[in-house]
Amino acid sequence: QKQLQESGPGLVKPSETLSLTCTVSGGSISSNIHYWGWIRQSPGKGLEWIGSINHSGSTFDNPSLKSRVTISVDTSENQFSLKLTSVTAADTALYYCARSWGSNSPFDYWGQGTLVTVSS
Amino acid sequence: DIQMTQSPSSLSASVGDRVTITCRASQPIYSYLNWYQQKPGKAPKLLIYAASSLQSGVPSRFSGSESGTDFTLTISTLQPEDFATYYCQQSYSSPPTFGGGTKVEIK
């Protein structure tokens, strides 16, 4: 049973860096067909794709986030991570990690989500 | 970015009703359209991919269709567990984008 689980601080101060990790179980993150991504959901902006990383380590991110995004993979821990720099209150959201089977594919497995609040 | 416009934003229906939700893309996305169901406190769940392919384990009362840049999700006979919010998502071009959602409520 494939499972994804997000972890990380629930509170981040403005201008600091948001860091989240997604642990994958029930399958290898080293799969050569899957992409691993981050999606967030807020009342104001709905569902928003943040970025993804593929099996070869290539990353893709949403231009709307103005190069604040870094996504990386740790194959030894079967995890992938998100860093979002220079956060503001607008980055307050429920953050999900998810898997897709290609760059033009849907997200077929999702984590349960973790709420991150940006506040001083 | 490709804009995805869903309608209606909410609807009220009764168990047993046939429900139709529409999603319109701002430009051609061919069949790269996916539908998700989200219940309160839960992550979105993939229902339909490639406009009309049913995800494994999803009941056959859910179906999808397309006509040009217009896509439709149909629930043939609404069940109590189907009251939720439904989202469309295009995966044709980056960034992938989602519709604003349609909340299906109990009449």
Q: Is the dihedral of CA B45, B48, B49, B55 positive or negative?
A: positive
Best B1, B46, B86 member to test A by mutation, with max A CBs in 10 Å, is B46
Q: How close, in Å, is residue A13 to chain B by CA atoms?
A: 25
Shortest CA distance to A60 belongs to which of B71, B3, B93? B93
pLDDT at A12: 98
Of the candidates A50, A62, A41, A58, which has an alpha carbon nearest to the alpha carbon of residue B87? A41
Task: Please identify every stretch of chain A with a pLDDT value under 50, giving residue numbers as ranges.
Answer: none
pLDDT at B70: 98
**Token representation of residue A71:** 């996504």
Specify the pLDDT at position B64. Answer: 98
Predicted local confidence at residue A43, as pLDDT: 84
Q: What distance lies between CA A94 and its chain's CA centroid? A: 11
Residues of chain B below pLDDT 70 = none
Instruction: Give the CA radius of gyration of chain A.
Output: 13
pLDDT value at residue B40: 96
Confidence (pLDDT) at A44 = 82
| pLDDT tens digits, one per residue of A19-33 | 999 999 999 999 888
Distance CA A60, CA A37 (A): 9
CA distance from start to end of chain B = 36
List residues of chain A with CB under 8 Å from any CB of chain B. 46-49, 60, 62-64, 96, 98, 100, 103-108, 110-113
Structure tokens at A81: 């991570």
A3-7/A79-84 β-pairing: unpaired
Q: What residues of chain B lie within 8 A of the CB of A108, using their CB? A: 46, 49, 55
Distances (CA, A) of B28 to A102, B51, B65: 20, 13, 15
- What would the pLDDT profile of B33-59 be if each residue is shown by its tens digit? 999 999 999 999 999 999 999 999 999
